[in-house]
Chains A and B, each alone.
Chain A
Amino acid sequence: MKPKAKDIREIVAPFKGDRGVTIPVLQAIQNVYGYLPPETFSIIEDELGIPSSVSYGVATFYSQFRLRPVGKHIIKACDGTACHVRGSQTLLSSIKDHLDLKDPESSNDGLFTLEIVACLGCCSLAPVMMIDDVTYGNLTIEKMKEIIMTYRKGGG
């Protein structure tokens, strides 16, 4: 979806008057666009009175926030301790190869964005990855390819 200032304003509006909203408001915007469009910060300043330096500072502090557009699906590959000792590094590099990801992160077809995270909480099924909100465990390279294929087939 192409971000429009008017739409962003609409997302921001309900947060007016509340305290401690910087993170939730950024999360709400990112939920819609998958990232924070550049207009985000000045709109938040206009609407909520939070200086753009503050909201930008927050956005760059937390790893959840992205400042660039993302693919249709987000792959979170785990490199937490349990996954690390069970071969996540190898899996990670094969995901990169498989999706033909150049540095950084997003596949050319606009379908996938890869993020490396530390622990998805399914450590006993290590190595683990999550695509959007679905977690996949006990991964092998083969299995990873099959799973990614199903997302490709789903028209992506």
Chain B
Amino acid sequence: MKHCVNAVLAGVEQLDADTFAHVYRAPEIARDARPGQFLHIRVSSQTTPLLRRPISILWSDGAVHVQTLFKVVRSGTALLAEKREGGLVDIAGPLGNPFPAHDDLDAVMIAGGYGISPLFFLGGMLNPDDGRFVMARPRRRTLLYGARTAEGLYLRDRLADKFDEVIYATEDGSLGARGPITGVLGAVLSERSNIALYACGPTPMLAAIINQIGFHKTHSRTPCWLSMENQMGCGVGACLGCVVKTRDGFRTTCKDGPVFAARDLIL
């Protein structure tokens, strides 16, 4: 069930110069939130900027609080970063479809930058020792995590209880393998079978993942779920502003997504 609430900003954490984590007190939203779903946040009570900003759910305790992690890009996210603890924030959510989960397949999650957010949540929900409930019980949970530099790899100290294994890549080589994370993915795809892929990151990264799967014929049936980013209007499938091209024609990112099966997408 979707709700629109004035949530108390119960916690603010600054992760680096332009990255923040927020904790909101929003029980109606926290109860229903699933990994891959997003919040639609009104950043200003004025009319500029007019539209809400979509931000993934980083975590929900299932009862009271939801968390986000976001990067300041331009004016909307800058206004969000100015919010102070104890203030109210107008939030609609949870919106969109969550990641499906596969029980008997090893989970390989691929994150780019702040794309870690829904996968952090998913990692927890796939882990009987960590999640408040378990969506599925894969034998192994692997995170492949890439960014331009080591600073762009968020929450590094908090990944151990969500994932059995974390492999990093940075484009400048400052941490983990040098180059894009999809380079690491190639090796994983060559070595492993019986896996399910879950990914969130910039669109070029998602397109590269689709390409990689194409190279590995053994993975033609591997489930692969991609969480897309797209500029949104309404957030509920009404305005048709945020469409992506799929084999089935244009589909909305906000309502039909943001999680899509890789095989359906035309990027």
Q: Is this pair of chains taken from one and the same complex? A: no
Could you tell me which B residues sit within 8 Å of A by CB distance?
none
Could you tell me which A residues sit within 8 Å of B by CB distance?
none
